């Protein structure tokens, strides 16, 4: 199990479900990220690869997202995350998954509600947390056209399957 924490019960996903959630979100965020803060969220997602980190060893709390410091920045981050969820929910590039993700819409819906209900102004960052990788920590995997962490030699979530 992996936990994506936030308002309400958060989102607890089995290892297999986590893989699905991360893959559909990576396909969407790779299409949308343009600005440094958007790449930062993409890097946080890219870091949720259980084949690199370990099965059952990923997940994050919404207060680990780099929300920025002003209300405007926080609103921009929230909008971007919601746009990413919405693009994923429109099944962006799902034909490339190689499987049918029957429950993915449910995970996306629950995650969306969490993000909507989350108040980033009250995000409490424990020491050592909130250390989302910098935007230059990302590379585009040419083979899969998906963002990947440079420190993992640009292997994306689809390379490491």
Q: How buried is 79 (Cβ within 10 angstroms: 0-12 exposed, 13-18 middle, 19+ buried)?
A: exposed
Q: Which is nearer to Zn ion, 77 or 147 (CB)?
A: 147
Q: Smaller CB distance to Zn ion: residue 62 or 149? A: 149
Closest CA to 30 of 155, 148, 146, 120: 146
CA distance 156 to 147: 6
What is the smallest separation between the CB atom of 51 and Zn ion, expressed in angstroms? 12
Q: Which is nearer to Zn ion, 46 or 115 (CB)?
A: 46
Closest to Zn ion by CB, 11 or 43: 43
159 is a site residue for Zn ion (CB under 5 A)? yes
Residues 127-146 binding Zn ion (CB under 5 A) are: 141, 143-144
State the DSSP string of 61-84: BGGGS---SSHHHHHHHHHHHHHH
> Count residues contacting Zn ion (CB under 5 A)?
6
Q: Considering the rule CB under 5 A, would residue 104 count as an interface residue with Zn ion?
A: no
Helix axes 71-89, 104-117, angle to 10 degrees: 170
Closest to Zn ion by CB, 55 or 143:
143
Per-residue binder mask for Zn ion (CB under 5 A), 55-94, x = binder: ----------------------------------------
Q: How far is the CB of 153 from Zn ion (least distance, A)?
A: 11
Q: Using CB under 5 A, which of 24, 44, 108, 156 touches Zn ion?
A: 156
User: CA angle, corner 50, sides to 47 and 54, nearest 5?
Assistant: 110
- C-alpha distances in Å from residue 116, one per residue of 13, 59, 75, 95, 150: 19, 18, 10, 28, 30
* Binding stretches for Zn ion (CB under 5 A): 141, 143-144, 156, 158-159
């Amino acid at each position: 199990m992996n936990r994506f924490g936030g308002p309400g019960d958060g989102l607890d996903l089995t290892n297999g479900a986590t893989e699905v959630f991360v893959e559909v979100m990576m396909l969407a965020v790779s299409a949308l990220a343009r600005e440094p803060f958007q790449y930062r969220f993409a890097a946080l997602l890219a870091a949720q690869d259980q084949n690199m980190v370990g099965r059952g060893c990923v997940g994050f709390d919404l207060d680990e997202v780099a929300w920025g410091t002003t209300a405007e920045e926080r609103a921009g981050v929230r909008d971007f995350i919601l746009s990413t969820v919405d693009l994923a929910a429109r099944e962006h590039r799902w034909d490339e998954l190689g499987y049918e993700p029957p429950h993915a819409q449910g995970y996306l819906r629950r995650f969306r509600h969490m993000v909507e209900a989350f108040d980033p102004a009250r995000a409490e960052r424990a020491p050592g947390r909130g250390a989302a990788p910098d935007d230059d920590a990302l590379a585009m995997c040419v083979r899969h056209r998906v963002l990947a962490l440079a420190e993992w030699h640009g292997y994306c979530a689809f390379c490491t399957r």
